[in-house]
Structure 1
Amino acid sequence: MNTYDLTQQEVAQILKNIPTHIVDGFCTPVFVFHYENAQRLIDDFVNRRDAMPTLLPAQFKFMLAKSGLDIAMNTLLEALQGVDIDKYAMYTAYLNGARFYEFDKTYLMYDEIKVKLTEINAALDFSIAELKTMWRAAAAF
């Protein structure tokens, strides 16, 4: 068993990341009673926190611009605005606040729109390792 010195805020963050499922329209947590599962959840949080820095706004924009993702994402957002205003608002807000998110959440967003991004520019097909490298490089900016 690994032990960590976590703040109350970090423990709250771990609890927010517990998987949930929808029951009668309400989001209900799936509680982790199994020690190995609970340990994996905590280990994943600590490893992410240590490995992938939170980026400042300029750093995040730098990463997007250096990789070429900014142009493709802007193209997608413009097209989405006329089709699905809810998703447009969600993605725009996400990109504007992405510096507050962990790498894994940013990667999930990238993975969700990867097919459309690569249709715009095939060079935007990045592996998770390549994205981690860009994230860390932007943090040093």
Structure 2
Amino acid sequence: MANYVDVNAKKTYAIESSRIALETTDTTLDDVTSGDLVIAGALVGVAVADYDEDTNLLVIDTRGRYELSVIGKDAGGSSCAIAVGDWLYYDPAADQINRDYSNGICIGRALEAIGSGLTATIGVEIIPIPWSDCLAMVAAAVA
């Protein structure tokens, strides 16, 4: 599994309720395969098919449940356990999915637990929440 961030999409097309086709000539997408996490602007999803170089289309699912590699780390970079239902974030600096809300982009919730500091492929429910809303939720939870 790979992660692709800041995809430069020219157009988007809604295919069905949670699937979106991104039209792009972004060369970083040449290696996207089904199951890869893709972040295009404020859109977060998982590729449901390989990038099609002939049509320049990539289809992502923005609300599905997928198996993704997750590491048990928190905002301070310290090891921590991940419980079922914990919010997960993609941390572009570390190129990993973890609980680092301060550096990460919210992608959804854990459907399985992971021990402190461990890396595992677990079920993740992709939940599209605008980043500004995530920060507001975290600030309210800490206050």
TM-score, normalised to structure 1, is 0.26
Structure whose CA Rg is larger:
1
TM-score, normalised to structure 2, is 0.26
Which structure shows the higher helix fraction?
1
